[in-house]
Structure 1
Amino acid sequence: MSGPAGDDAPTNVQVGDGWSAVMEDMEATAAEYRERGWTTLELHPGDSVLVDSDRRTGLDVVLPGPEFEDLESLVDDREFRDVEVFRAEGDGLVYVLVAELAPESETAVFVPAYYDPSQAAETIESIRDAGTVRLFCRRLNDDTVRFVHDDPTPFLPEPVE
C-alpha cells in the first residue's frame, strides 16, 4: 500500500536499511536496561507516520494486538515521566527510537518509528509551534496509549535555516 489511507492520512513510505538499524539499536538499548534490572517492552509497529488531523497530531504508530495489550497493562499502574529519544536521518526518512521511562518502577518501553519529513513539513511546523509532541501507540481499532512530551526537538529533523 503506497496510497493515502484516507482524506487526511499521509502516504505510507518504504523504509530502507535505516529501519533495520533502528530495530538493532532498540534490541541493544533494551538489553542494557534489562542488565540494570529494568523491566522492558520492545514494540514492533506495523506502520508509523507523522499526523496532523482533527483527531490527533503527533507521531502515530500502529501496534499488533498482543503488543498493545502488553503496553496497556504496563502504563496502567506506572508513571512514564521521562523520555530518551534517539534520532537518525537517512533514505529521506527520519528514524526515531523513543524510550518511555518510568524511573520509580524501573520500566522502559521502546517505541521505534519513522516518517517522511518531505510529506510532513506542515505537521512538523505545527508540532514546533505547539511546543509539544504526542506519541500515539494504537491498535487498528483506534484503542490508543498516548505519551505527551514538552520538548518536540529530539523527535523532529533539524530546522532548515
Structure 2
Amino acid sequence: MEDMEATAAEYRERGWTTLELHPGDSVLVDSERRTGLDVVLPGPEFEELESHVDSRGFQNVEVFRAEGDELVYVLVVELAPESEAAVFIPAYYDPSQSAETIESVREAGDIRLFCRRLNDDTVQFVHDDPAPFLPEPIE
C-alpha cells in the first residue's frame, strides 16, 4: 500500500487525476465465467472506479510486480494518457495455488483484470501482455 501511495503521489505531482483502490481480496481465477486476476472492491470504491472508466479512455498499463512470502504482489496502474488519469489497483495471489491458471493465461496471450463488487458488478480491463502480471516461468 505504501508503494501505491508513493507512486500515486508522483502521478499527482505531474498533474494527473488518481484513484487508489483498496481491494478486500484478490485471486487468479480460471472458470467458465472469468479467467484472469479478480479483485473485490468495497461498494463506494467500485462506484468511483465505474465513473472514472465511463468518462475516460484507459488504454495503457504499468505493472509493478514483486515476489515474496510465497505470494506474487502486483500494483496495476491503469492509464488514460489523454485525460491524464490513473487508477491504482494493488493485488496479490498464491502462484502455488494458481499454476494451471497461470499456464492458461500464458497460453491465451492476454490477461483480464476483473474489478468487482460482491454482487458481481464488474469493471474489466484487458491486457495483451500477461508477462508483467505473472511470476517468472520456471525453466
Alignment TM-score, normalising by the size of structure 1? 0.86
Structure with higher strand content:
2
Q: Does 1:136 align with 2:114?
A: yes
Task: Please point out which of 41, 55, 61 is paired with 2:39.
Answer: 61
**Match for residue 113 of structure 1?**
91
Partner Cα separation in structure 2 for residue 42 and residue 25 of structure 1 = 11
Partner Cα separation in structure 1 for residue 28 and residue 3 of structure 2 = 21
Runs of 4 or more above 6 Å deviation: none
Partner Cα separation in structure 2 for residue 32 and residue 78 of structure 1 = 20
Consecutive unaligned residues in structure 2, runs of 5 or more: none
What residue identity is the alignment partner of 2:17? T
Q: Does 1:100 align with 2:91?
A: no
| Structure 1 residue 105 displacement after superposition | 0.2
**Match for residue 35 of structure 1?**
13
Partner Cα separation in structure 2 for residue 34 and residue 77 of structure 1 = 19
Aligned-pair Cα RMSD in Å: 0.3
Partner Cα separation in structure 1 for residue 52 and residue 109 of structure 2 = 27
Q: Does 1:126 align with 2:104?
A: yes
**Match for residue 16 of structure 1?**
none
| Structure 1 residue 77 displacement after superposition | 1.7
What residue identity is the alignment partner of 1:110? F
**Match for residue 160 of structure 1?**
138
Q: Does 1:25 align with 2:31?
A: no
Alignment TM-score, normalising by the size of structure 2? 1.00
Q: Does 1:88 align with 2:66?
A: yes
| Structure 1 residue 72 displacement after superposition | 0.2
| Structure 1 residue 139 displacement after superposition | 0.2
Task: Please point out which of 141, 145, 153 is paired with 2:123.
Answer: 145
What residue identity is the alignment partner of 2:37? L
Identity of matched residues, %: 86
Partner Cα separation in structure 2 for residue 102 and residue 138 of structure 1 = 20
What residue identity is the alignment partner of 1:108? A
